[in-house]
C-alpha cells in the first residue's frame, strides 16, 4: 500500500518514483546484508566490493555518487567528510573488534536513485544494536541521530523551506553539544533525475519543501563537540497528505 501511495503521488510529475523505490529497496537490502557480512579484520576494499557486488546482483544499473556504490567509514575515520572517497586513506586499516562502521550506498535504476546510510556498532567482534553499545559516546550519538529523524517529521510543515530545516537541525545539534560533519554543511538533498539538479538542505535555500514536491534525503552526519565518533543515518522521505513520510 505504501509503495502505491508513493508512486501515485508522483504519477503526473517527472519524478521517477517507481525506479527510486526499487533503488531504495536495493539500498536497504544491501545494508541489511552488510549487517551480517562485516567482520573484524576486513579492509575497506573487501567491504566496498561486497556492497557493489550485492547491489548489482539485486538489479542496480549504476551508482549516482561519482559512480561509486558506497562511502565507507570506520576505524579513526568515522568523522571524515570530503568530496572524494576516503579509500586511499585506508591503507593498512582493518575493522577492529570494537569499531564503528558507517556505510552510505547510492544505487540507481534508470534515472531513479536510492540513497541510504547506516552506522553499525561492532563490539567484541559482533555487530550489535546501537542501544546495547557499551560505548557511551556512540550510544548517545546514535540516540541523537534517531531524535533528529523524529524531529524532522515534526519540523517540516506546509511552508517549511530547505533553509528553515537546516536552521532547525543545526540549532538543535548545537544546543545539545553536537556538530554537523558534512563538508558542505548540509543535512540532505532532493532526489532528482540528474545529480546536478539537487537542492540541498542548507542555509540560504528559500525553496518550500512541500511545494517543490520531490523526495528528499535527511542524513545528518554528526559528532559530539570534541568527540571521536561520527554517526550517520539516512532515509528518503516525501511530503504527502500534510506530512513527511519515509518512502519505505
For the chain, the domain total comes to 1
Query: Mean pLDDT over residues 130-158, rounded?
Result: 98
Q: Which domain holds residue 203?
A: 2-246
Is pLDDT at 86 greater than 90 in this prediction?
no
Euclidean distance between CA atoms 229 and 29, whole angstroms:
25
Q: What stretches of 163-208 adopt beta strand conformation (E)? A: 178-180
pLDDT band (50, 70, 90) for residue 1: confident
pLDDT digits (tens, 9 = 90+) for 122-133: 999 999 999 999
HSE (CB half, 13 Å, CA atoms) of 37?
18
CATH of the domain at 186: 3.90.230.10
pLDDT band (50, 70, 90) for residue 116: very high
Torsion, Cα 195 167 221 243, to 10 degrees, reads: -70
Euclidean distance between CA atoms 117 and 95, whole angstroms:
18
Query: Mean pLDDT over residues 10-19, rounded?
Result: 95
**192 phi/psi in degrees, rounded to 5:** -120, 175
DSSP string, 58-95: TT--EETTTT-SEEEE-GGGTT---SS-GGGGGTT-B-
- Cell 520531490 found at: 214
Is pLDDT at 140 greater than 90 in this prediction?
yes
CB 48 within 8 A of CB 95: no
Kindly tell me the sign of the dihedral angle through the C-alpha atoms of 195, 197, 199, 204: positive
Euclidean distance between CA atoms 4 and 74, whole angstroms:
37
Instruction: Write down the pLDDT at residue 240.
Output: 96
**243 phi/psi in degrees, rounded to 5:** -160, 165
Cα–Cα–Cα angle for 243, 233, 61, rounded to 5 degrees:
90
Euclidean distance between CA atoms 223 and 243, whole angstroms:
28
pLDDT digits (tens, 9 = 90+) for 15-62: 999 999 999 999 999 999 999 999 999 999 999 999 999 999 999 999
Cell of 136: 557511551
Euclidean distance between CA atoms 225 and 180, whole angstroms:
10
pTM of the prediction? 0.96
* Residue 219 CA: distances (Å) to CA of 14, 126, 132, 216, 245: 24, 25, 22, 10, 15
- Cell 544546543 found at: 175
CB 127 within 8 A of CB 35: yes
- Cell 508512486 found at: 7
Cβ–Cβ contacts within 10 Å for residue 225, how many? 10
Amino acid at each position: 500500500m505504501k509503495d502505491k501511495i508513493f508512486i501515485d503521488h508522483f504519477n503526473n510529475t517527472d519524478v521517477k518514483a517507481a525506479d527510486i523505490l526499487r533503488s531504495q529497496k536495493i539500498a536497504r537490502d544491501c545494508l541489511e546484508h552488510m549487517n551480517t557480512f562485516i567482520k573484524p579484520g576486513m579492509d575497506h576494499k573487501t567491504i566496498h566490493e561486497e556492497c557493489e557486488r550485492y547491489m548489482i546482483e539485486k538489479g542496480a544499473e549504476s551508482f549516482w555518487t561519482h559512480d561509486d556504490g558506497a562511502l565507507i567509514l570506520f576505524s579513526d575515520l568515522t568523522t571524515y567528510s570530503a568530496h572524494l572517497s576516503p579509500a586511499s586513506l585506508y591503507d593498512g586499516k582493518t575493522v577492529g573488534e570494537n569499531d564503528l562502521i558507517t556505510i552510505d550506498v547510492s544505487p540507481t535504476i534508470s534515472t531513479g536513485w536510492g540513497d541510504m546510510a547506516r552506522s553499525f556498532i561492532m563490539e567484541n567482534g559482533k555487530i550489535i544494536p546501537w542501544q546495547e553499545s557499551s560505548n557511551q559516546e556512540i550510544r548517545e550519538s546514535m540516540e541523537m541521530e534517531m531524535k533528529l529523524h523524529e524531529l524532522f517529521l515534526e519540523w517540516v510543515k506546509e511552508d517549511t523551506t530547505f533553509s528553515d530545516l537546516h536552521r532547525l537541525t543545526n540549532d538543535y545539534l548545537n544546543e545539545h553539544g553536537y556538530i554537523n560533519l558534512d563538508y558542505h554543511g548540509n543535512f540532505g538533498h532532493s532526489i532528482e533525475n540528474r545529480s546536478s539538479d539537487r537542492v540541498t538542505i542548507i542555509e540560504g535555500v528559500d525553496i518550500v519543501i512541500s511545494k517543490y514536491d520531490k523526495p528528499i534525503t535527511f542524513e545528518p552526519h554528526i559528532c559530539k563537540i570534541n568527540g571521536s565518533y561520527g554517526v550517520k543515518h539516512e532515509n528518503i522521505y516525501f511530503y504527502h497528505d500534510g506530512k513527511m513520510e519515509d518512502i519505505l
